[in-house]
Amino acid sequence: MAGRELKTEADQLDLKNGEIVSTIDLTKKIRIPSLTQLKRQGVILGIGHRGPNPDKKVVNPFGAQFCELEVNTQTGEVKVLRFLAAQESGRVMNRLTYDNQVVGGITWEWVSP
């Protein structure tokens, strides 16, 4: 949405202090509540993907996370309504450590910029 509005590629955008800013031209920026398409659409859908394994390494993370948010389009305040995470962790050796890692990972995902 911001890429179209700022006429720049999405991979050249960064989120800083509640604004979406071009990493190439710092004068190109917009506050999230000001996104025209967000005001019309009312929904943001994010899809992530993972690149291939590094050379000579096998990495098998399995997990999926979904959240439903509410965004106040006037203030930019984001409220998490529901969050669901599914993990395939193999055999859990220490339940407390496992729970802390999973919940910590979920928390980090939605509070980190």
Report the mean per-residue pLDDT for the chain. Answer: 82
Same domain, 66 and 100: yes
pLDDT band at 6 (very low <50, low <70, confident <90, very high): very high
Look at residues 92, 85, 93, 88 and name the one whose alpha carbon lies nearest to residue 110.
85
* Structure confidence by residue, pLDDT tens digits, 15-67: 888 789 999 999 999 988 888 887 777 766 666 667 777 888 877 667 788 88
Comparison of pLDDT for 104 and 62, the residue scoring more: 104
Kindly state whether residues 17 and 60 are assigned to the same domain: no
The residue range of the domain holding 110 is 46-113
Regarding whether 106 and 58 lie in a shared domain, the answer is yes
Residue keyed to tokens 């050379």: 55
One domain for residues 110 and 91: yes
Mention every residue, 6+ apart, whose C-beta is less than 8 A from residue 61: 50
Q: Structurally, how many domains does the chain consist of?
A: 2
Cα(113)–Cα(108) distance, integer angstroms:
9
Q: Measure the CA–CA gap between 17 and 31, rounded to whole angstroms.
A: 9
